[in-house]
Chains A and B, each alone.
Chain A
Amino acid sequence: MRLTRFLLRRTAQGILVVWGVITLVFLLRFITPGSTIDFVAPLDASPELRQRLAEDLGLNKPIYVQYADYIVNLLQLDMGNSLLKGRPASDVIFARLPATLELAIAATIVAILFSIPLGVISATRRHQPVDYGATGFSLIGISTPNFWLGIMLILIVGVNLGWLPTSRRIIGFGPALELLVFEGRTIGIQVWFEHILLPSITLGTYFTALITRLTRNGMLEELGQSYVEVTRAKGLPETLVKYKHVLRNTMIPIITVLGLQMGTLIGGAVITESVFNWPGLGTLIIDAINSRDWPLIQGSLIVIGVGFVVINIVVDALYMYFNPQVTFE
């Protein structure tokens, strides 16, 4: 009940935020110098051609009419036609979305898989070599620009050692899975895995480091709480004390931070995609900005904004799940 009510309220707020994003994105187009027409028109187009193109694209209507049109179209999931690709912007964006999602999810999995055990071990073996190692790693991890990390990984693992491919996606997870399920061939998954490994490490390192730090600090703080002593006095196995009791409470601040850091993940994905030539939303946005493909820019930013809002609602729900004391006012 509590959860349902909460989700409803958060969804309403989320819609408001998305509307804000849409409006801001729309305005962005009008405060920026340079006309869209310059990018649509051929290199040596005549003024008449330019005029006609402007009319075709509705660029000569008053701003509020364009805004109203835009909102109405958006409600029908129509983001306009990409100027660059000549296809509906939504098609282009949703074709790219799986690649970015795969990367983001893989990076998150990498991060969670390594960071939480590492943080726990580090906190429970304080001042031992493993703790110094983990602390050092997390410090370097949050201080290393991921574009540089990606380059170094390509150089060492891809080029010098030749263990993994240096770039590209080749096959999506969906088709790879289909291949496995319907034809029983593992090659798809294998290729997919080989290609996503370096990018997801590159994207995940910052998060791994960040969560390791948070887990370690949180665990240390929680381990000092009285209730830990109580659980020990009860005779609970030590692992249960750490993972069930302490880690659970440590998760609460971690979840908060993760929600706030989602933007970083998406931003990091832009860079990672650019370094690894990964055909996701990030590279699309850079291309779109460079060619002033407004429908594409706006569409991508809105999709990202919606994603951000959705993720944060999920994060808040998780937060509430982990922290029963929270009542959302």
Chain B
Amino acid sequence: MDEPFEITMTQRQDPTTLDPHNHRETPTDNVVLHSYEGILWRGPEGEIIESLATEWEVVEDNRHRFTIRDDVQFHDGSSLEPSDCAFTIQRIVDPEAGGLESPQRDQLAGTTGAEVVDGERAIDMLSGGPNPMAFQNIASYAHVVSEDWISERDNEEIAVEMNGTGPYRLADYEPEEYVRLEKFEDYWGEEPDVDRVEIIAAAEDSTRVSQLLAGETDIISAVPPNDAGRIESEDGMSIADIGSTRILMCPMVYNEEPFDSVEFRQAMNYAIDLDQMIDEILRGFGVPTGQPTLPGYNGHNSDLEPYPYDPDEAESLVEQSGYAGAELELEYPAGRYLLNDELAQAAAGFIDDLENVSCEAVSRDFGTLAGELLDGDLSTTPSFYNIGWGNTTFDASQTLTPFLTEGTAIYHYRSDEMEQLKEQWQVETNADEREQILQEANQLAHDEAVWVFLNREWLVYGINGRIDWDPRQDEYFLAQGMNQA
């Protein structure tokens, strides 16, 4: 191969920083994970696989050990030491350690720090008590940085430079315009096929599709299903798709009229024809859900079916609830998820079709809506809203805890039963026992109809035929997984 293989990728948003620990957005991950690697990593199906650590084990309930590779170099030429891995964890959980108030701290919830194991190329991750989520979290978060490199720089420099161990090093970065990456010649792992990558962003769906069709870019994320046909039918272009880790739902605040009635909440679920929404709006790119947890996740309850479409049942449940004639507003964040505007409007439309309820979809900008949801004050939370939630730990608790148990910033539901279950899943380390508890919680969420359950969001990519790539569930699209076709 004489010609260098160069590709351009377009995603929805630009990275907000290049600091792997100072953000919480997938678009930023999609850039920094070219250069920074985790201690562990995930396979395409979400399974935990080795990365910078080759072995991992539970030493004690509150001590998890990782054995670190010895053949790894950072882009600046220094070699990876276990202390770098320990520093990475410290930097996230301890504001004093890395000079950073990391927004990812709660992603390592329970973790109190990390230390190098004397005399071994290994580190111990420490937690206050039993930590059933330790390996799941490390497989998803904590991307390793060089302690020396970080210590020599202030946070503003770290935000615009990168020095990781990954297969690509930063070549050129113009904030909010592009990131250019080139192959790191001394990468420890398998040499990637792609020599140079440019990552750009376009918030508009149509813009990304146009860019792909015009040959201005090689791979785009979040293709609206309407345009999938145009791409598929274009010579040398194709679609790749996979179910994501995100679900869409419409939470209802449990103590506000009329949603304080379980019957009413159930009625909302019976009212919508979810299958038709998925078929017609999403063109099948989606799967109906009936519980907060996706199949394949810890705690998924396979006995639960999505609520069927039954408007008559819905109307009679509304009558039973005593809230006939209710007027609802469904507030949705405009353009935040794949066709969520249309989905929310359609859901509102179906509810509005009931004889005894009227409903209107109201578009909100995500920032304002998120502010109302996240202030921890239930009274400012809209009583009925649409939101999406990604769970990259493949564990039900990461969805159940924030939404359905009291005291988190975003909760909208509480019941004594759920609170009891939460106490258990937070500490239970026996995997089977924990699975039971989580399944029970999912059953409860389904029966209580805490949300109007919508679909699992689908990842739809448009790809130029010169690239061969299988998409990942976790929304990452990284050049190291792409091959020249």
A and B touch in the complex (CB under 8 A): yes
Chain A residues with Cβ under 8 A from B206's Cβ? Answer: 154
B311-327 CB contact bits vs A (8 Å, 1 = yes)?
Answer: 00000000000000000
Q: How far is the CA of A92 from the CA of B156 in the complex (A)?
A: 12
**When the two chains form their complex, are residues B17 and A45 in contact, meaning their CB atoms are under 8 A apart?**
no
Say whether, besides A45-B106, A45-B409, A162-B214, A291 and B101 are in contact (CB < 8 Å).
no
Mark interface residues in B389-423 (1 if CB within 8 Å of A CB, else 0).
00000000000001000001110000000000000
Stretch at the interface among B118-126, B339-347, B362-370: B362-370
Contact A159 B16 (CB under 8 A): no
Say yes or no: A167 contacts B17, CB within 8 Å: no
Q: Which of A53, A84, A154 contacts B210 (CB 8 A)?
A: A154
Compute the total of residue contacts between A and B using a CB distance below 8 Å: 110
**What distance in Å separates the Cβ of B32 from its nearest Cβ neighbour in chain A?**
13
Q: Say yes or no: is A289 at the interface (Cβ < 8 Å to chain B).
A: yes
B106 contacts A92, CB within 8 Å? no
Task: State which residues 31-54 of A face B: CB under 8 Å.
Answer: 34-35, 37-39, 41-47, 49-50, 52-53
* A259 interface hit (Cβ, 8 Å): no
Instruction: Render A88-131 as a binary contact track against B, CB cut-off 8 A, 1 for contact.
Output: 10001001100000000000000000000000000000000000
Cβ-based interface call for A184 (8 A)? no
Residues of A1-58 at the interface with B, using a CB-CB cut-off of 8 Å, are: 34-35, 37-39, 41-47, 49-50, 52-53, 56
Tell whether B71 is near chain A: CB-to-CB under 8 Å: no
- Within the complex, which residue of A41, A84, A162, A277 is in contact with B204, where a contact is CB–CB below 8 Å? A277
Q: Given A35-B371, A165-B214 in contact, is the A84-B16 Cβ separation under 8 Å? A: yes
The answer on a CB contact under 8 Å between A168 and B16 is: no
Chain B contact residues: helix, strand, loop or mixed: loop
Residues on A with C-beta less than 8 A from B368 are: 34, 290, 292
On whether the beta carbons of A166 and B375 are closer than 8 Å, the reply is: no
Provide the residues of chain A in CB contact with B374, threshold 8 Å. 38, 41, 43
A158 vs B213: C-alpha distance when bound (angstroms): 10
Q: How far is the CA of A37 from the CA of B104 in the complex (A)?
A: 16
In the complex, what distance in Å separates the CA atom of A96 from the CA atom of B206?
23
Q: Contact: B213 with A159, CB < 8 Å?
A: yes
Provided the pairs A42-B105, A44-B410 are in contact, do residues A86 and B24 lie with their beta carbons within 8 angstroms?
no
> In this assembly, does B211 line the interface, its C-beta being within 8 Å of a C-beta of chain A?
yes
Asked if B175 and A167 make an inter-chain contact with CB atoms under 8 angstroms apart, the answer reads: no
A168 to B155 CA separation, bound complex (whole angstroms): 29
Chain A interface size, under 10 / 10 to 19 / 20 to 34 / 35 or more: 35 or more
Question: Nearest residue in B to A53 (C-beta to C-beta)?
Answer: B101
Inter-subunit contact B156/A86 (CB<8 Å): yes
A152 to B164, CA, bound (A): 44
Does B103 belong to the interface (CB within 8 Å)?
A: yes
Known: A44-B410, A166-B210. A277 touches B375 (CB 8 A): no
Tell me the complex Cα distance, A34–B177, Å: 30
Chain B 401-455 residues near chain A, CB threshold 8 A: 402, 408-410
Measured between C-beta atoms, what is the minimum distance from B222 to chain A in Å? 14
Interface pair A56/B106, CB less than 8 Å apart:
no
Bound CA–CA A190/B204 (angstroms): 25
A279 touches B204 (CB 8 A): no
Q: Which A positions have Cβ atoms within 8 angstroms of B?
A: 34-35, 37-39, 41-47, 49-50, 52-53, 56, 84-88, 92, 95-96, 154, 158-159, 162, 165-169, 275, 277, 279, 284, 289-292
Q: Which are the 3 A-B pairs with shortest beta-carbon distances?
A: A290-B367, A166-B210, A38-B371
12 contacts between A and B (CB under 8 A): A34-B375, A38-B372, A38-B374, A41-B374, A43-B410, A45-B106, A46-B106, A49-B105, A96-B176, A154-B210, A279-B177, A290-B367
